[in-house]
Amino acid sequence: MEQPLDQKEVLSNTITPKDSVLIPALLSIDEEIDSTKQYVYLTFDDGPYVGSKKINQIIQEENVKATVFLVGFNAYTKDLNQYVEDYKQNSNLEIANHTFSHARNHYTKYYSDPAAVLKDIQKNESVLKLENRLVRLPGRNVWRTANRKKDDFDKQSKVTADLIADNQYMIYGWDYEWLRSHAKAPLSPPKSIYDGIITRLANDSTFEKNHLVILMHDDMFDKDEDAQKLRELIGMLKENKKIVLQVISKYPSKLS
């Protein structure tokens, strides 16, 4: 079994602010934000799944921006690998890092070793050939956007997030989640999700005023009828002339 990497070893092998190679995702100047608009960031976690193919098609056909946070471990078949490549060919989509292992869903144990989490992120970056340093942590709603931060209930994930941010990664949580369906409840109607987005923006119930990150998961849209609900939500957002759909790298994140 592979042993966890010592934290000092991790830090000695990762990029620091003094390195000559700069990270574009961190050092680019923010685009001008239109103060009369409200920005919504469609984000999809845990792909690739069967639903990834439908998400890719809908984003392309509706011609809107979105971000997918991918898990390298899930790309274990030829078809799933192809979904990743299809995502990369879609100019409306941004691909970001959701770790290689997704903690195998054992989150407490996972975050007890921050150095190993950083190594897992780096592995995913290498396996999927990611070209940015945009990260979402599995199972934790944590933010590190240059000079702003927000932590979840778990103290250990805070330590982990600090280590990852020190290595020049941006970490994005979410403001609102469209929950998965289960045996007793189908996906919520698109109108209720749309209303939730509008209400949170109006009440300033987001990490950044006038900016809302919505969390979804690729496997939510495996079925055609559920994929259609995604298309309906996007249609409602497009009809609202005050809303701008954008990729996560455009989220406000000025350096100190």
Question: Which region among 1-5, 38-42, 57-61, 91-95 has the lowest average model confidence (pLDDT)?
Answer: 1-5
Q: Would residue 27 count as lying in a domain? A: no
Q: Number of folded domains in the chain? A: 1
Reported as a single tens digit per residue, the pLDDT across 58-75 is 999 999 999 999 999 999
> CATH number of the domain that 177 lies in?
3.20.20.370
pTM for the full predicted model = 0.89
Q: Would residue 209 count as lying in a domain? A: yes
Q: Would residue 11 count as lying in a domain? A: no
Q: Would residue 2 count as lying in a domain? A: no
- Torsions phi, psi of 252, nearest 5? -60, 125
Q: Which residues have C-beta within 8 Å of that of residue 26, sequence separation ≥ 6?
A: 133, 146, 168, 170, 253, 255
Q: Would residue 170 count as lying in a domain? A: yes
Cβ count within 10 A of residue 241? 8
Range of the domain at 106: 35-250
Q: Would residue 119 count as lying in a domain? A: yes
Q: Which residues have C-beta within 8 Å of that of residue 102, sequence separation ≥ 6?
A: 46, 71, 73, 74, 138
Q: Would residue 193 count as lying in a domain? A: yes
* 24-to-245, 250, 254 alpha-carbon distances in Å: 21, 12, 13
